Amino acid sequence: MAKILLTGGAGYIGSHTYVELIASGYEVVILDNFSNSHPSVLDRLEVITGAPVIALEGDVLDANFIKDVFAEHTFDAVVHFAAKKAVGESVEQPLDYFQTNCVGFSTLLGVMKDAGVRRVVFSSTATVYGVPDILPLPENHATRPESPYAVNKLVCENLLKQLKTSDDTWSYGILRYFNPAGAHPSSLIGEDPNDIPNNLMPYIAKVATGELARLRVFGDDYDTPDGTGVRDYIHVVDLAKGHVQSLRKLIEQDESHVVNLSTGIGYSVMDMLKSYQAACGKKLEYEIVGRRAGDIDGFWGDPSLARDLLGFKAERGLDDMCKTSWNWVSRRKNN
Ligand code: UD1
């Protein structure tokens, strides 16, 4: 079976992808610097998969370290997650973001090139589209990234395309995620932000556990059915499975692709809050406050290309996202 290097494999989406890769029979080596994750995730992955985890602590910016990893292991492909991901922080720290997200990735690609490893699944974001002209968003929509984070992701996407132009033996799967939510059904892994979360789902989760008093709903005057922002929330396990399908496409058919990982369904902030209340069995406090700068009315993806090319279909609905999130955060809080 193919051997995969999984960078950022201890993170939120990376850890769920690890589980699905192992379940699909891949041999996986995790590389992580634990800058936004905890090594205890590795123990949990061993419990879930019932097998020892091979993990290396290191940074994608450390070319010598990466070279050593490729000298020691013969990889068939890389699934690359290791990156910084907070949009607001990227505005404050554009250099750090460029360094990790773009220079880190190009360092990794350089080592891959020298080692003759030419397949990569890349963790991108639907934020590369910017404000939508049409909904649902298709992959051929214009890209107008607004934040340094989104620009970083587009730079990396373009670098992959340029590499392929220079040498057709490269193949890439660029996966543009919509809004990841939920946790593994084991409740052993999930999203675990250290600080006050910026994103809706982890914020609601902390209101449910009592760590935060109330949700601040950023605006109820959007052009949406209930006036609150609408997004395309996708279960992290579905997202993880999408990576396996992308990888399979590269290994079995050598076919590069750029696809949305989305459900095609939009839910509002109030939909999310109500569904989470049902999942945790508590009333969750909220207040309507002003709009957050840069937010838009509605944003959801066209999932048809991912379905046609990869056979990808998100199977898990909103209830499952909220239930698994609640199970994970309530268990974590009690441990
Ligand atoms: C953000 C990121 C995006 C990333 C995505 C998922 C920005 C501009 N974009 O998108 O790059 O892919 O997260 O990680 O940050 N909301 C509240 N109260 C809160 C938090 C959010 O009302 O405390 C609302 C927002 O106004 C929005 C919705 O909830 O309508 C979703 O927000 P969020 O989870 O931050 O995701 P996005 O803004 O869609």
Q: What is the pLDDT of residues 160-193, one digit of tens each?
A: 999 999 999 999 999 999 999 999 999 999 998 7
Is residue 254 situated within a structural domain? yes
pLDDT at position 194: 75
Band of pLDDT at residue 221, cut at 50, 70 and 90: very high
SS3 category, 61: coil
**Residue ranges of the alpha helices (H) in 190-317?**
200-208, 236-253, 269-280, 304-310
pLDDT at position 329: 96
Is residue 203 situated within a structural domain? no
Is residue 321 situated within a structural domain? no
Percent of the chain with pLDDT over 70: 99
Closest CA to 63 of 92, 18, 106: 106
- Closest atom of ligand 1 to 149 CA is 11
Band of pLDDT at residue 283, cut at 50, 70 and 90: very high
Residue closest by Cα to atom 22 of ligand 1: 217
Active site residues: 149
Closest CA to 153 of 123, 111, 120: 123
For the segment 114-132, the average pLDDT, to the nearest whole number, is 98
Domain limits for position 174: 3-181+233-263+301-314
pLDDT at position 334: 66
Is residue 217 situated within a structural domain? no
Whether ligand 1 lies within 6 angstroms of the CB of 224 is answered as no
For the chain, the domain total comes to 1
- Closest atom of ligand 1 to 231 CA is 39
Band of pLDDT at residue 289, cut at 50, 70 and 90: very high
Is residue 225 situated within a structural domain? no
Q: What is the pLDDT of residues 35-46, one digit of tens each?
A: 999 999 999 999
Average pLDDT, the chain: 97
Whether ligand 1 lies within 6 angstroms of the CB of 225 is answered as no
Q: What is the pLDDT of residues 199-219, one digit of tens each?
A: 999 999 999 999 999 999 999
- CA-only gyration radius of the chain, Å: 19
Q: Are the C-beta atoms of residues 47 and 270 closer than 8 Å to each other?
A: no
Is residue 99 situated within a structural domain? yes
Please report, to the nearest 10 degrees, the dihedral formed by the alpha carbons of residues 124, 126, 131, 137 taken in order. Answer: 140
50 alpha carbon to ligand 1 midpoint, in Å? 35
Is residue 222 situated within a structural domain? no
Q: Is the pLDDT of residue 335 over 70?
A: no
Which residue's entry shows tokens 């020691």? Answer: 72
pLDDT at position 332: 81
Ligand 1 site-directed mutation target among 147, 231, 271, 318, most atoms within 8 Å of CB = 231
Residue closest by Cα to atom 20 of ligand 1: 200
What's the CATH number where 241 sits?
A: 3.40.50.720
Residue closest by Cα to atom 19 of ligand 1: 200
Residue closest by Cα to atom 4 of ligand 1: 179
Is residue 7 situated within a structural domain? yes
Q: Is the pLDDT of residue 312 over 80?
A: yes
d(CA 93, CA 291): 23
Whether ligand 1 lies within 6 angstroms of the CB of 218 is answered as yes
For the segment 138-165, the average pLDDT, to the nearest whole number, is 98
Q: Is the pLDDT of residue 232 over 70?
A: yes
pLDDT at position 189: 97
Whether ligand 1 lies within 6 angstroms of the CB of 284 is answered as no
Q: What is the pLDDT of residues 87-109, one digit of tens each?
A: 989 999 999 999 999 999 999 99
Residue closest by Cα to atom 6 of ligand 1: 179
pLDDT at position 179: 98
pLDDT at position 7: 98
d(CA 50, CA 333): 24
